[in-house]
Amino acid sequence: MNNKEIIFRLKEFVTESRFQLFEKVLNERTNYVSLLIENIYQSHNASAIVRTAEALGVQELYVYERKNSFSPNEEISLGAQKWLNIQRYNESDITTAELFSQFKSKGYRIIATTLHEKAVSLEQLNLYKGKMLFLFGTEKEGLTDEFKSYADEFLKITMYGFTESFNVSVSVGIILYQIITNLRQTNIPYRLPDEEKDKIMIDWLVKSIPLGEKVLERILNG
């Protein structure tokens, strides 16, 4: 049974309007832009990042946990994590070299958000060079030097006041909004391929159906 057939069977268990909403949202999803969050420790920032990423159509969120656990608060994130692919990594399980090797193999450009001498502004960032993985660091220290050493490019937000940086969740919001807005004005095929959309549709349907995992199992077992 292929994914299209599974979706056809699962959609019987949700309303037509809900299924159409899933299709509409999926048509705007992207993994051309993804996030890698390093060691965020404040729950409200984790929650705001998840909520912003979901609202702007970003599907892939990666988290690298050192001493701190990435713990979104559902009341703040409004359950947004339910609709994202969130992959957690822990430094005790994978080295940074192994981690970034994985992202390179997926075709990502690694872009560190930091005040670096080679950093370009949002307006200068070339969207046509390929998929982008944006790195964001902790609330106080920002990205570690180790993470920055794997970056292909550096990105900054132009500031006009005395303050030199934004809160990390605000930075995520500004960068994602501008990048997604700019992408929508290009001919870059940034939206998810149909095969990936089908996989996500199955996941969303299962999450929306009471005892969804059992329903899926019954469908797969004929």
pLDDT tens by residue, 162-183: 888 888 999 999 999 999 999 9
Label residue 141 exposed, middle or buried (CB < 10 Å: 0-12, 13-18, 19+): exposed
Determine which helix (DSSP H) or strand (DSSP E) holds 110, and give its type and residue range.
Answer: strand 109-113
**Looking at residue 44, what is its pLDDT?**
85
Q: Tell me which amino acid residue 217 is.
A: E
Residue ranges, CATH 3.40.1280.10, the chain: 30-191
Strand pairing category for 132-136 and 33-38 = parallel
Q: Per the CATH hierarchy, to which homologous superfamily does domain 30-191 belong?
A: SPOUT methyltransferase, trefoil knot domain (3.40.1280.10)
Helix, strand, or coil (residue 134): strand
Q: What's the number of CA atoms in the CB half-sphere (13 Å) around residue 22?
A: 24
Q: Flag residues of the chain having pLDDT under 50.
A: none
Q: What is the pLDDT of residues 1-34, one digit of tens each?
A: 899 999 999 999 999 999 999 999 999 999 999 9
DSSP letter, residue 108: P
**Looking at residue 162, what is its pLDDT?**
87
Pair of tokens at residue 111: 């872009």
**Looking at residue 34, what is its pLDDT?**
98
**Looking at residue 76, what is its pLDDT?**
57
**Looking at residue 37, what is its pLDDT?**
93
